[in-house]
Chain A
Amino acid sequence: MSESTFCDPLTMHELLGKPNALSQSLMSVGSLPKSTGTFAAPPTAVAEKMSSIFDRCCCALRRRKKPKETERRLKANDRPYNEQYRYTDNYIKTSKYNMFSFVPKNLFEQFQRLANAYFIFLMILQLIPQISSLTPLTTILPLIAVLAVTAGKDAIDDLCVPWISSVPWETTALPLFFVLACTALKDGWDDLLIPWVSSIAWYSTAIPLFFVLFVSAVKDGYDDIQRHRSDNQVNNRISYVVRDGKLEEEKWMNVKVGDIIRMENDHFVAADLMLLSTSEPHGLCYVETAELDGETNLKARQALPETAEMGDSLEQIGKFRAEVTCESPNNNLNRFEGRMVTAGQTLPIDNEKMLLRGCILRNTRWCYGLVIFAGRDTKLMMNSGKTKFKRTSLDRFLNVLIMGIVLFLLSMCLICSILCGVWEYTTGKEFQGYLKWDDTIVPGPPGEKGFKQIVVIAFLMFFSYVILLNTVVPISLYVSVEIIRFMHSWWINWDEKMYYAKGDVASRARTTTLNEELGQVQYIFSDKTGTLTQNIMTFNKCSINGHSYGDVTDELGNVLEIDERMKPLDFSFNPLYEPKFTFYDENLLKDVKRGNKEVSEFWRLLALCHTVMPDRKNGQLVYQAQSPDEEALTSAARNFGFVFKSRTPRSITIEVNGEEETYELLCILDFNNVRKRMSVILKDSEGHIKLYCKGADTMILARLSTDSSERLHAITNAHLDKFATEGLRTLCLAVKPITDKYWEKWQKRQQDASVALENRQDLLDAIYEEIETDMTLIGATAIEDKLQDGVPETIANLAAANIKIWVLTGDKQETAINIGYSCRLLTENMREVFVVDGEQKAEVEVQLKDIKRRLDRANGSNGRPGAPQVMIASIQTDNGVNGTSVVGANNDQLGDDGEPTEGYALVINGPSLHHALSPALERTFLDIGCACQAVVCCRVTPLQKAMVVDLVKRNKKAVTLSVGDGANDVSMIKTAHIGVGISGQEGMQAVLASDYSIGQFRYLERLLLVHGRWSYFRMSKFLRYFFYKNFAFTLAHFWYAFFCGYSAQTVYDPVFIACYNLFFTSLPVLILGMFDQDVDDAYSMRFPKLYIPGQYNLFFNMRIFIYSVLHGLVSSLVLFFIPYGTMHLGYNYAGLDMNDYSLLAFTVFSSLVVIVTIQIALDTSYWTVFNHICIWGSLIFYFSLTLVYYEALPFSWVNGSQSAANYGVAFRAMASPHYWLSMLLTAVVLLLPVVANRFFWQDTQPSYSDRLRVRQQRPREMPKKGPTTDLPMRPFSRKTTSRRSRRGSLRSGYAFSHQQGFGELITKGKLFPNLGILLPSTGSAPGALGKGASSSHAKKSLSPIREQPPGFIAAAAAALPGIQLATGNLFASTESIESGSLPSVDHIEHF
């Protein structure tokens, strides 16, 4: 109900982040914002506000007529010009209502709930006395309950979730139930005891209704006021606009397209801006984009040199004139196209020049920007689409069922209505001597009563039957479902096994409506970084000169498992060691201390060959690396005594064993995706020139000198294989001495190439290639990308539960595949791993079709991807008729030990995905993806994540779940049926957008396999019983119609009708819905196959529903006709007649209550003390109530109600054998078949859960087969396999998250702001800058950077992650992705 139309994360974040935000915003609404007070007198401000509101209204009106924008044109500093386009201003609105729209809109929303509308309709019908067959009480009681519970639950969902965790649940739940009970009791009292007269009833119905609607409305209104406030707060923020060469304070909402605004450090960006000039050199500035994409790292943005010149000169900026033409507003965060015409020049504008709303300016004192998009047009707002109101498939199914039931109801009513006409014609017309037609209802001249009157009567009777039979549409169903879901959410919140102690994070069900869907998930879409991995790289192993280091062995040479107990090496001898660095193999340290030449060279290479920047934090040396891999390697070298200490554009200083060594940095041969390696060329203090190279093994091994040792080559290769199988990222290191002569020649050519105007990159690559040959292999490194705890086990177990896992990551393909292996998403057992990496649509199409063909061939001629279909078939044949036994034990699709024995996997790249998601190919892509055990999508954007999820969601009848931890996962979390947020370090966006939040990925297993399964199991059982119970209850009226002249006479006492669903039968089934379990949590986790029935909806589907309805129908038939047969023309031993209405009614109703109670007792598989209390309590309550109501109360209390005729019936009935014997007979006739049927299936074809249930209860009688067969899953360990891995081609893992272009930044001094200032600002030609850098270096030869003021170093360091991410993986713009490998289906054969 409280869905916000727009959801500005900025607002959300702020409101939730600051507890006082509310009071602050209150202040800012109530009084004037402090800052405005300085220059605006209050009345003017109010007037301004009013007029601006008026303007906006007008704008809104005008806006509708505005044609769709195809291109945006604007002029800087030219308001009149920009006005003509009527661009959206910077006002944002997330609220739903205003003062006038509130009442109608809110009411409309409330009545959109099908149940409420239906209920109101019924109630209105009941207000017509001529139709009413029941007292309104029977409808009002449940209605009050429905509305109260729903409203209460909504309130708790929407308002209280943040604080409810700190408050014991009793404080919220108890008052809720108390209020509910009181309301019900009070109304019941009034209606039972005050004789019902229609005039009174009208008010007694309307008042509670209005009350409920009012409360809901107040709640909605309150929510909306919150939104208004946060909107106001955001809209009233101050920004500084340049006007006529002066700065003016202006509220955000008044900022217009074309304005130039000044931003200061740590300010939120107010709109989408084009950067003009900044305080930093080269027009650079840094922004944090966490709100937009979840990355906490800084990104750099660079202004055009032409505009950057203006600097801080307000005069120049005020006079700045430019015409910008650019794309129309869209939601693509990574791309921007536009051009700017200024001073006769046309300059291109791309994304690198844009500051988007929602970013925060960091490490930049100030900057100026030109507003391009404002308000709703900003990319942030375009991206944060509607928060969808999520409903479960069960909800939708229920709606369908209810529609079906309503149709059924209407047809029953139609039958009754027609038969009523017939009856009135044959009998009723003549019966008028005893029961005349009412002239007021049946118009027509007196004495001329005939066909016309009969039609009217029959017509009215239709509605009477609608009212009478309305209980087949179970209104109390909704209340009960809400209560049960609410409880299920608490189970999740209370689960201590899903509590993450390290972070003090308990699992939270943030919405209470999706629980049972957790038991039906078929597809999990997972983020990688922060979700599967910790994003921590550790130096794990290495191979130097044919020796492998890193494994700890015992005396006999067996490799020991590294665990918590093992003691890491002590590095304290090294003053610069890092305490958190751990390494276990002491051989390496020994060799280092011994001064082994190869080992020293290995470490020296790692200390020198990189693009890391050193920094100091609290006096400690820290590294700022652009990729965590590189940091891990440099840091490993540091701990082993080869400390990288500082660098300048022309030098690197390291400290080896306490002595500083300074190398002249001659050249950085930078990394790129084609080269997959980087090198540095250094001159040591003795003048020897050396090339150090590190890179992907394939690249390095192919470039070794021919005379190097074959043996070393082979051994290293073996080591690399070993590392790769263990899921480590590998890297080869090589060195090459270079003669001065060669260097000089080479350098010249390199210089020429670097200033070439065409094909510069190709030329450079060729020249690099030339020098990086004939190298000598030093060794290899292995880095572990640390997984979150328990990820492989969780994934294996989820896979065993037939859940398909798709990893959607912004990482590169290699990284993603690597992680896929290490977390067992991809396994060695897989038949094939398909890779789609085409750049062009045609390539992708060919690749996809090729894969499809292979899959089809593999799955036989029918061409259908097999696994799921086979699975359904095998389940359905095993499914018992009673619907409780489901999965056969012989379902062998999954391997014996719960891991897929074979299958396929798909790896697809971001750009390929772009084409694969196009309408023409999406079907093929989906078919392939769904036929694969695992899918890995690399380099995807947040939007693509959502699109992939949406693709599956739209086309598969399957429940999807997205799990992620960052703001970049928000879109997919919102898109999927269920969004799970991991309360990680990356901020709260994912959690705030999610439906469930957990502390660690591994808790997902418990969330799904235990809580989800139980929820689904319980909800299904609950619904099956509920429909049965209502049909059994209601249809008796229909049978009775045939005997009462189709007059809509009730079979039961109206008071009991009101109580039936509320008091007599609700609690046992509610308790069942809350507590029932077939097997316990440990078994649910141990036998993941138990999860499968949920995925195929086997516990509650159309078949089961029809079965329940038929069960109810037969029950009602038996329930009515056995007492009928017993009482027909009957009298007791004393001759007193016993064929009166009240006796029949009482007998039927008593049997009904007894039988549905025994039925729930049969259905209950887990009898806690609550079940006992409620089941026996219901029966006791019913019988005591009948005794009190029919016997103990004075007659004068009831003689005004319709129950008066029934007064005294209890003793009469109970004294006769008829009552008891017919009840016993009915019970046996109805329940024996149920038991027999259940027993039959369980005895001959027990379901999986049946068997586990037996097993669980007979633990001691287990055949002792040893514990190994007991566990469905072996504890996972990274085993070293001796066979050659087919993953050889995948282990080319150089610096997976590395980016090109960093080396250039270092050598040209761009990352050293001090140098930039020293230079004459002649221009930005890279060559010139390079020369300048070297000249300054010549003056201050090899000045180490640590001597610079710390502020500059900090600025440089801050720039590092920024630049890394400017072309970063998450902003994977198509341009920045290199066309690396050949586009072909890169499958890997299994051998």
Chain B
Amino acid sequence: MADGPSTSQPANGNNGANEPEPVKKNKPKATRLRQQKLPAWQPILTASTVIPAIFAIGIIFLPIGIALYLASDGVYEYDFKYTDCNITEGPDKDKIASDVLTENLKNNKNSTIICVLVLKLDKDITGDIFFYYGLDNFYQNHRRYVKSRSDAQLAGDYKSVGDCAPYAYGDDNGVKKPIAPCGAVANSMFNDTFTLSGPNGPVTFSKEGIVWNVDKEKKFKNPSTPKETVLKETVKPPNWRTDIYGLEGGFENVDFIIWMRTAALPNFRKLYRKLNTTDKLYNGVLKAGTYNLKINYNYPVKSFNGEKRFIISTTSWAGAKNSFLGIAYLVVGVFCIVLGVVFLIIHLKFGYSLTELSNVR
């Protein structure tokens, strides 16, 4: 291309008619791609496609909305806070549990705090019944908190502490040893326990099927090393009263697994137990009546304005009692139908037909 002027082409010659055609080595190839002439679909928004589509969306959304709303409406949910429950047993009887716990922590005193709450169910609860504990204003999704765990350790590599800092290593008589399970998440494991008794006697809880399969099967594994070795080479998390094997199942303990699945938002619920349907006393139905919930109150949340809840709930095909989706679908559905009508009017009164559109100079 950059030949000097001396060797320039026999360009633009007005006498070039009789000369042999010059070699056209620079001629671009005439492929459809290079000439930007690829066959293409060129959609246009027309009244005949857009308006029916809007109606169609409305017609689809309305029944979905109704179904979701009904599903959510049919769920029974019993939710109450017990953060400030009154202690019913022991020396601190009738004191507020959270205060006593705060006091105990300050004085490094270790006493059991027990609240017994009376629940009144005004109707029979049928179907699968689940018991949840809920925490409010608990930042399980704080970045440093979320990060502070070692999935490798939980899956069996008990010495791997990953990103567990500042709960990675503990001091065992002057020897630095990895914490097992390490990290802020494990260290802060929820440790209130609940028992429920009702008109027919104690309600039996079941731990079957309350964790996701993937957690049980892949993520949480006890080390293949004997328990004693593990215990010898590690230390327990500082907040724990027991070591990992003090929990039933060790690393595969269901409460531990559930706790370790960090919540997305500062208010969350975690499945505690479900009603044992094979239990003869209740036959999978909680009859209306008065129940006593005995809470082993260990977990402090008061200092950062946290709340603790206990929830009894059934489920529908759409899960929990949550009318958000149902209402949203209904609103959008109605909006679509209104919009469709408005557009139909606009189009008929002010719109251009395709023929009008294409008549342009």
Contact = CB atoms under 8 A, between A and B. Distances in A.
Given A1167-B40, A1243-B350, A435 B144 contact: yes
A305 interface: no
A427 to B, nearest CB: 5
Nearest to B21: A501
B320 A1129 contact: yes
A157 to B, nearest CB: 14
A990 B143 CA distance: 60
Nearest to B316: A1133
Contacts of B12: 502-503, 534, 984-985
A1140 B43 contact: no
Contact of A1165 (B25, B42, B152, B261): B42
Given A495-B28, A1124-B265, A1077 B36 contact: yes
Contacts of B267: 1128-1129
Contacts of B271: 1131, 1135-1137
A671 interface: no
A1134 B149 CA distance: 28
Nearest to A1141: B264
- Could you say which interface size class chain A belongs to? 35 or more
B96 interface: no
B15 interface: yes
Contacts of A427: 137, 139, 304-305
Contact of A987 (B5, B188, B352, B357): B5
Given A133-B143, A435-B188, A1132-B319, A1205 B151 contact: yes
Interface stretch (A343-351, A539-547, A725-733, A1210-1218): A1210-1218
Given A499-B26, A1126-B324, A1208-B214, A162 B1 contact: yes
A1207 interface: yes
A1043 B141 contact: yes
Given A17-B3, A1251-B358, A1261-B358, A1139 B152 contact: no
A1332 interface: no
Contact of A1263 (B35, B210, B268, B359): B359
Interface string B329-344: 1001000100100010
A1244 interface: yes
Nearest to B24: A504
A1034 interface: no
A172 interface: no
B209 interface: yes
Nearest to B187: A434
B31 to A, nearest CB: 8
B82 interface: no
Nearest to B9: A503
Interface stretch (A736-744, A1234-1242, A1301-1309): A1234-1242
Contacts of B351: 1243-1244
Interface in B250-299: 258, 261-271, 274
Given A503-B11, A1168-B38, A1254-B357, A1196 B155 contact: yes
B300 to A, nearest CB: 7
B39, B147, B360 — which one has the most chain A CB atoms within 10 A of its CB? B360
Contacts of B318: 1133, 1217-1218
Interface in A1061-1104: 1075, 1077, 1081
A810 interface: no
A133 B25 CA distance: 56
B175 interface: no
Contacts of A1253: 42, 44
A1199 interface: yes
B143 A1049 contact: yes
A1254 B320 contact: no
A550 interface: no
B3, B149, B313, B320 — which one has the most chain A CB atoms within 10 A of its CB? B320
A1236 B54 CA distance: 9
Interface string B127-152: 01010101001011111111111011
A988 B332 contact: no
A1257 B54 contact: no
Interface in B304-327: 304-305, 313, 315-320, 322, 324-325
Interface stretch (A139-147, A769-777, A932-940, A1221-1229): A1221-1229
Given A503-B11, A1137-B271, A1263-B355, A1132 B315 contact: yes
A1228 B49 CA distance: 16
A1130 B318 CA distance: 9
B328 A1225 contact: yes
B32 to A, nearest CB: 9
B8 to A, nearest CB: 6
Contact of B263 (A436, A889, A1141): A1141
B174 interface: no
Contacts of A1243: 47, 343, 346-347, 350-352
A494 B6 contact: no
A941 to B, nearest CB: 22
Contacts of B47: 1239, 1243
Given A431-B304, A536-B14, A1261-B354, A1127 B155 contact: no
B343 A1240 contact: yes
Interface of B is mostly: loop
A1166 interface: yes
Contacts of A503: 9, 11-12
B360 A1251 contact: yes
A988 B360 contact: no
B128 to A, nearest CB: 6
A438 B35 contact: no
Contact of A988 (B5, B324, B328, B361): B5
A921 to B, nearest CB: 38
Given A433-B300, A896-B361, A1246-B357, A1129 B134 contact: yes
B22, B38, B141 — which one has the most chain A CB atoms within 10 A of its CB? B141
A1169 interface: yes
A919 interface: no
Nearest to A1212: B212
Given A434-B184, A1133-B317, A1255-B358, A1127 B4 contact: no
A1130 B2 contact: no
A1145 B347 CA distance: 41
A1124 B45 CA distance: 33
B218 A1244 contact: no
A1049 B142 contact: yes
Given A984-B12, A1140-B263, A1141-B146, A195 B162 contact: yes
Given A1135-B274, A1225-B332, 8 more contacts: A428-B142, A433-B188, A496-B27, A1077-B36, A1133-B319, A1228-B332, A1236-B339, A1243-B352
The 6 closest A-B pairs by CB, nearest first: A17-B4, A1208-B214, A503-B11, A987-B5, A1255-B358, A1204-B151
14 contacts: A17-B4, A434-B239, A504-B26, A988-B4, A1126-B324, A1136-B210, A1141-B140, A1168-B40, A1169-B38, A1200-B151, A1232-B54, A1236-B50, A1244-B351, A1255-B360
Interface of A: 13, 16-18, 133, 161-163, 165-166, 195, 290, 296, 426-428, 430-431, 433-436, 438-439, 464, 491, 493-497, 499, 501-506, 508, 534, 536, 579-580, 889, 896, 983-988, 992, 1014, 1043-1045, 1047-1050, 1075, 1077, 1081, 1122, 1124-1145, 1165-1171, 1195-1196, 1199-1200, 1202, 1204-1205, 1207-1208, 1211-1212, 1216-1218, 1221-1222, 1225, 1228-1229, 1232, 1235-1236, 1238-1240, 1242-1244, 1246, 1248, 1250-1255, 1257-1258, 1261-1263, 1269, 1272
Interface of B: 1-9, 11-16, 22-30, 34-36, 38-45, 47, 50, 53-54, 57, 61, 64, 68, 105, 128, 130, 132, 134, 137, 139-149, 151-152, 155, 162, 165-166, 184, 187-188, 209-212, 214-215, 218-219, 239, 258, 261-271, 274, 300, 303-305, 313, 315-320, 322, 324-325, 328-329, 332, 336, 339, 343, 346-347, 350-352, 354-355, 357-361
